[in-house]
Amino acid sequence: MLRLFLVHSLRYFARHSVQTLLNVLGVALGITVFISIQIVNYSAIQSFRASVDVVAGRANLELTGEGIRFDETLYTMVRNHPDIASATPLVEVVVPLPDFRGEYLQVMGVDVFSNAPLRSYDFVGGQTVADPSRAMTFLSDPNQIALTEPLCRRLGLKLGDTLRVSTSKGPRMLKVAFLLKLGEDQRKDGKARQNDIEAGADEHLAVMDIATVQEVFGFSGQLSRILAIVREGASPERVAAELSPRTPANVEVRQPDRRGQKIERMVGAFQLNLTALSLVSLLVGAFLIYNTVATAVVRRRTEIGILRALGMTPSQVRLIFLAESLLQGLIGVALGIGLGIVLAGQLIGIVSKTISMHYILISIQQLFISPWSIVAAVGLGCLGVLIAAWYPATEASRVPIVQALHTGYLREKSLRHTRSWLLGGVAMLGLSVAVAQIALRWGPAWLSFGSALFLLLGVSFFVPPVCLALSELLRGQQVYKNMLLDIAVGHFGRSLHRNSITIAALVTAISMVVGISTMIFSFRKSVENWLTQSIQADVFLSPASSLIGVRMPIPKEVVEIAQKAPGVVAADLYREIRIQYKQNTVKLATFDFTQATRLTSLTVNEGPSAEILPLAAKEGHILVSESFSRRMKVKRGDIIPLLTTTGERNLYVAGTFPDYTSEMGLIIVDLAKYREWWRDDTVNSIALYADNDTSAQPIQDYLREKVAPYGEFSIFSNMALRFLVFRIFDQTFSVTYVLQTVGIVISALGIVLNLSILVTERRREIGLLRAAGASRKQVQAIILWEAGMIALVGAFLGIIAGLGLAAVLSYVINMSYFGWTITWATPWPFLLWLPVWVIAASIAAAYLPARKASKINIAAAVKQE
Amino acid sequence: MIRIQNATKSYGEGASAVAALRGVSLEVPAGQFIALMGPSGCGKSTLLHILGGLDTLEKGEVYLDQKPIHRMKEQELTLLRREKVGIVFQSFNLLPTLTVEENVMLPGLLAGVSVPGGVTLKERAAALLEEVGLTKRSRHMLHQLSGGETQRAALARALLLKPPVLLADEPTGNLDSEASANVVRILRELGRNNGTTIVMVTHSREVAGMADRLVQMRDGRVVDDPGTECAEAAAAS
């Protein structure tokens, strides 16, 4: 029997191929977006993990300063611990390549003697694995470097070539002496095995001799990390606990895998948001499925009647409809997974850049597809389809047999209970508000997405009553004199059961567009206001590598040149590091508070910055960003412990301030105190203030000429920096535009599907109109008018729902995850133009069904029933 | 075999309610072929639907094989349709996505039972298709068949599981006179061969003339039934 029904369903699909295709596409696009985001997210994490694995090798213990280097004498202490089998020091530095725009190296300075037991890479000279002793040549020539094979291939480098790198002492030429084979394990017999290839590790990894790195990049006597293997039988946790008290306060002793977990936590919220947005497309697809199944129930009512008359049970009828939906859903899911992989390939660059800019330098080399994301896509796709199909399938099972065997039933049925829909909508909106309150007050944070979901469902529930009200209003008023419009309004009113679902899908898609656009618009305005207050200098100088997310120090000579440039009256030195606070990575920035008070108008929420900042500089107080304050529940007057290079310090929080540079949270401390506590006098960027007679341009020209020998630098005017900030801002949100577009495409498919169905349902009526003298153009006009009405209601409710969604995104989801302060701003021109675009797009989507309607065979259509 | 007592049914509510059956009583012995005739809206199709468990009564009693249909729940009615009743419709009501043979086998596949007599569904379907003269058409789709052939396929389907009762709702309504005569002849022969009780609704006096007994209906009532007269005469004597 199963085979027979499969054959039956497939033949039905073949007979209604356009409808089936649209349905499958609807599911496929929803899944495409979902799976592509999953793949991109997973690839980012996997790439990072792979790189961590290569760097950490087979170490099961590491000492790290989390970005701040520490004294190399610590290495002797670790190596001499009785339970340490082997240990190796490491210096890491990110080095820009001035000859290759946007390219960089993640250089590891290694000790070739001690790292042999730990490393998970090999040096290859030409085709064969090099004799380990050849690695010794690193020591003989300090200008040698080993690069990965993929990077060499991409940059067109080969063994023996020279490569220019930027250092804090100016450019330096290095010779490509070896290729790095990542992840290969060197056995004692000298043969390589490929059991743990670190697939996906960053191709930018490079290896140099540790002493050379220390000398070339100015880190003499300093280390980034110490990697160690604990003796067999000893516990890494215990050894870590023993070593910890003997290390400086800012050095953490831990197992290497914890680093990956920290990064995952850091980018988790960003990735979760993308996932949630991708699910909206799936929701739009579900509306499409609902509509198709509901249509099939109407179209196949005679078939249902026959089967029931022949002894099929109601549950068997429901099962058939569910199984057919599932079949289409599965085809859609399979197609969606394929398309998703393609889309992921397109998105990966954007996401990679965004993560590098905001969180951590990452280069995603290949796509990683987690089996779980495939399982999730199949599960969500099937579940979505079954939920969407359940109600209409149940309706089908309840069709009275005698009525099913006669035509005319069910068409006008479904929207009699508009009051229930209205009440349901109000209840959903109530739930949305309640869930938002719970998420904000008590958490968990993910509950905030529930608020958005209930909001979208709530507004969808309002569609039937609004449609009914509109059609009754238009019918009652007789404000139009157009007969075709009259007929179209009549059709619209009578087909609410079908139109409502299409409009609900359209409302969901439009609300996503409006919601995200309004949130981004408000966010942009807030950033703009903040920039006006906080960025007031005329010229900004930083290493060029900062544009690709690499924070390099500015050489002291360059700082001096900038400070003494003609026309410059003041220079603000800025340094930024990442520190740990309660197991979270946060940013710590420093600048001269007293000077900042004089030159800028930094906002401090708790009072005048002119009083608070100088006092903070004098007393050693810190200030925290609003996002830090919200996430860590820290406010003015609190005292918080911070690990500095000179030990843990309990610091008084003098105030909070708006900031849009880091969702991780930002702490600011006066420059003098920072240098004292962290023993770090490097600078990441300089802001220069010109005197009244000098414009930015001559200062920029002067700097370009003078600092060129010291490396590559970005020198921006105030306006250019603002432009850059907004370019990064827009890049951050570019993925969401892709998601919005897919949502809109799905709902356009919905309109095509809906009108195709309506044309089929109204065959006889259209035939009668044609028989009564209506021209093909007139029939087309009726269908197009109706499409216009669908779009109008969709746009109207979509905008309302979208503004609600923007509020949820800005004040519930944002507050739960990021804590940015977003001041509401309404993008009026966008909102006013949107209905015009939606109506135009709907009419375009309706053109094919309208053509189909105008070409029906009049005699056959009239005879049909 | 079939006993109907005071069957009453109306459609719609309140002032707009239309009475379809107004206290119909009827008895059909096993193996009899009766024809129900009457003008449109007289209630004959409603009566047929109630006998087939497709619709329910408001008042009255209906027994099929001494089982009270009027008291049956949905699940029991489904079983009744599977096991006791075969139905032939005016508009054929075959599934256009299935072949002739698949359509004939459908009730057996739905019921998940074998055919009484130990033959397989396929064998039974082949035998029936031979009896209705459609062996060569068994693999054809419905649109390749004429009206008469389609109705003969529907007839084969209705008889697949050898139901004791066959209900035919204007089976010749969409056929020309030659095809009509052919279909009713086959209907009667198959009924006789299988001992099936047949209740047929028709507008055609010619078709009705081929039945064992003709019952006339009007305005929801039986107005002429030789069966009742015979019973009354028998009771009087």
ipTM: 0.72
| A residues 12..41 contacting B (CB < 8 A) | 12, 15
Q: How much of chain B exceeds pLDDT 90, in percent?
A: 22
Provide the number of CB pairs (under 8 Å) joining chain A to chain B.
67
Q: CA of A2: which chain B residue's CA is closest?
A: B109
Nearest to A118 by CA among A205, A53, A203: A53
Please tell me the distance in Å from A203's CA to the nearest CA on chain B: 57
Say whether A311 and B74 touch across the interface (CB within 8 A): no
Interchain CB contact of A303 with B (< 8 Å)? yes
Task: Check residue A520 and give its pLDDT.
Answer: 83
Question: Which tokens is B202 given?
Answer: 């028709």
* Secondary element (H or E) of residue A743: helix A718-761
Scanning A762-821, the segments in alpha helix (DSSP H) are 763-771, 776-808, 814-817
Phi, psi of A466 (to 5 degrees): -65, -40
Query: C-alpha distances in angstroms, A82 versus A42, A88, A223, A229, A246?
Result: 39, 15, 22, 12, 14
Residues 6+ apart with CB under 8 A from A273: A813, A817
| B residues 170..209 contacting A (CB < 8 A) | none
Please tell me the distance in Å from B122's CA to the nearest CA on chain A: 13
C-beta separation of A80 from A88 below 8 A: no
* Secondary element (H or E) of residue A672: helix A671-678
Please tell me the distance in Å from B96's CA to the nearest CA on chain A: 9
- pLDDT surpasses 70 at A863: no
Interchain CB contact of A313 with B (< 8 Å)? yes
Say whether B94 and A302 touch across the interface (CB within 8 A): no
Nearest to A297 by CA among A398, A204, A156: A398
C-beta separation of A69 from A219 below 8 A: yes
Nearest to A189 by CA among A125, A129, A149: A129
| Pairing, β B33-37 against β B197-201 | parallel
Angle at B216 (CA atoms; ends B212, B222), nearest 5 degrees = 115
Q: Is residue A131 exposed (0-12), middle (13-18) or buried (19+ Cβ within 10 Å)?
A: exposed
Question: Looking at beta carbons, which residues of chain A come within 8 Å of B52?
Answer: 309
Q: Which residue has the tokens 């062996």?
A: B135
Q: Where are the beta strands (DSSP E) in A451-610?
A: 539-543, 568-581, 584-591
Question: Looking at beta carbons, which residues of chain A come within 8 Å of B87?
Answer: 309-310
Q: Is residue B209 exposed (0-12), middle (13-18) or buried (19+ Cβ within 10 Å)?
A: exposed
C-beta separation of B19 from B10 below 8 A: yes
Residue range B13-60, pLDDT digits in tens: 777 778 889 999 999 999 899 999 988 888 888 898 888 888 888 899
How far is B24 from B40, CA to CA, in rounded Å?
17
What is the mean predicted confidence (pLDDT) over A600-614? 86
- Per-chain mean pLDDT for chain A: 80
C-beta separation of A279 from A31 below 8 A: no
Say whether A311 and B55 touch across the interface (CB within 8 A): no
Residue range B92-121, pLDDT digits in tens: 788 777 789 988 888 887 777 777 777 888
Say whether B102 and A7 touch across the interface (CB within 8 A): yes
Eight-class DSSP state of A367: -
Residues pairing with A657 in the sheet: A625
Q: How many CB atoms within 10 Å of residue A836?
A: 11
Please tell me the distance in Å from B232's CA to the nearest CA on chain A: 34
Task: Check residue A16 and give its pLDDT.
Answer: 78
Question: Looking at beta carbons, which residues of chain A come within 8 Å of B75?
Answer: 313
What is the mean predicted confidence (pLDDT) over A456-464? 87
How far is A191 from A136, CA to CA, in rounded Å?
19
More confident call, B9 vs A477: B9
More confident call, A843 vs A670: A670
Q: Which residue has the tokens 């009896």?
A: B131
Say whether A311 and B97 touch across the interface (CB within 8 A): no
More confident call, A401 vs B44: B44
C-beta separation of A29 from A745 below 8 A: yes
Q: How much of chain A exceeds pLDDT 90, in percent?
A: 11
- pLDDT surpasses 80 at A588: yes
More confident call, A178 vs B200: B200
* Cα dihedral A595, A601, A604, A609 in deg (nearest 10): 50
How far is B67 from A533, CA to CA, in rounded Å?
89
Nearest to A491 by CA among A178, A18, A849, A808: A849
Interface test with A, best of B21, B54, B82, B102 (most A CBs within 10 A): B54
Interface test with A, best of B91, B110, B114, B174 (most A CBs within 10 A): B110
pLDDT-based confidence at residue A28 (cuts at 50, 70, 90): confident
Which of B93, B98, B110 lies at the smallest CB-CB distance from A405?
A: B93
Which of B52, B97, B102 lies at the smallest CB-CB distance from A309?
A: B52
Give first-to-last CA distance, chain A, whole Å.
31
| Pairing, β B33-37 against β B213-218 | parallel
Which of B54, B94, B98 lies at the smallest CB-CB distance from A402?
A: B54
Interchain CB contact of A319 with B (< 8 Å)? no
Please tell me the distance in Å from A316's CA to the nearest CA on chain B: 9
Say whether A311 and B81 touch across the interface (CB within 8 A): yes
Say whether A309 and B81 touch across the interface (CB within 8 A): yes
Task: Check residue A53 and give its pLDDT.
Answer: 67
Q: Is residue A803 exposed (0-12), middle (13-18) or buried (19+ Cβ within 10 Å)?
A: middle
Please tell me the distance in Å from A305's CA to the nearest CA on chain B: 9
- pLDDT surpasses 90 at A427: yes
Cis status of the peptide bond prior to A444, with omega within 30 of 0:
yes
Interface test with A, best of B95, B113, B121, B160 (most A CBs within 10 A): B95
Question: Which tokens is A823 given?
Answer: 């001041």
| A residues 556..585 contacting B (CB < 8 A) | none
How far is B5 from B59, CA to CA, in rounded Å?
9
How far is A32 from A38, CA to CA, in rounded Å?
10
Q: How many CB atoms within 10 Å of residue A214?
A: 21
* Cα dihedral A52, A58, A62, A65 in deg (nearest 10): -30
Question: Looking at beta carbons, which residues of chain B come within 8 Å of A314?
Answer: 74
Residue range A240-278, pLDDT digits in tens: 888 888 887 668 888 776 666 666 666 666 677 677 777
| B residues 27..86 contacting A (CB < 8 A) | 49, 52, 54-55, 74-75, 78-79, 81-83
Please tell me the distance in Å from B224's CA to the nearest CA on chain A: 26
Say whether A4 and B74 touch across the interface (CB within 8 A): no
Q: At what angle do helices A314-358 and A718-761 cross, to 10 degrees?
A: 170
Q: Which of A65-69, A194-198, A309-313, A732-736 has the lowest mean pLDDT?
A: A194-198
pLDDT-based confidence at residue A219 (cuts at 50, 70, 90): confident
Say whether B110 and A1 touch across the interface (CB within 8 A): yes
Question: Looking at beta carbons, which residues of chain B come within 8 Å of A302?
Answer: 93
Q: Is residue B25 exposed (0-12), middle (13-18) or buried (19+ Cβ within 10 Å)?
A: middle
C-beta separation of B221 from B23 below 8 A: yes
Which 3-state string (H, E, C) describes chain B?
Answer: CEEEEEEEEEECCHHHCEEEEEEEEEEECCCCEEEEECCCCCCHHHHHHHHCCCCCCCEEEEEECCEEHHHCCHHHHHHHHHHCEEEECCCCCCCCCCEHHHHHHHHHHHHCCCCCCCCCHHHHHHHHHHHCCCHHHCCCEHHHCCHHHHHHHHHHHHHCCCCCEEEEECCCCCCCHHHHHHHHHHHHHHHHHHCCEEEEECCCHHHHCCCCEEEEEECCEEEECHHHHHHHHHHHC
pLDDT-based confidence at residue A196 (cuts at 50, 70, 90): very low
Burial per residue of A717-751, b for 16 or more beta-carbon CB atoms within 10 angstroms, e otherwise: bbeebbeebeeebeebbebbebbbebbbbbbbbbb
Interface test with A, best of B51, B101, B106 (most A CBs within 10 A): B106
Residue range A298-307, pLDDT digits in tens: 677 778 888 8
Q: Which residue has the tokens 């089936």?
A: A20
Q: Where are the beta strands (DSSP E) in A797-853?
A: none
Say whether A311 and B49 touch across the interface (CB within 8 A): no
Which of A303, A400, A405 lies at the smallest CB-CB distance from B95?
A: A303
Q: How many CB atoms within 10 Å of residue B236?
A: 6
How far is B202 from B174, CA to CA, in rounded Å?
11
- pLDDT surpasses 70 at A478: no
Q: How many CB atoms within 10 Å of residue A572?
A: 20
Say whether A313 and B102 touch across the interface (CB within 8 A): no
Interchain CB contact of A136 with B (< 8 Å)? no
Q: How many CB atoms within 10 Å of residue A67?
A: 14
What is the three-class DSSP state of A46? Answer: helix
Interface test with B, best of A310, A398, A407, A863 (most B CBs within 10 A): A310
How far is A307 from B93, CA to CA, in rounded Å?
9
Residue range A491-546, pLDDT digits in tens: 777 777 667 777 887 888 788 888 888 888 888 888 888 878 777 888 999 887 77
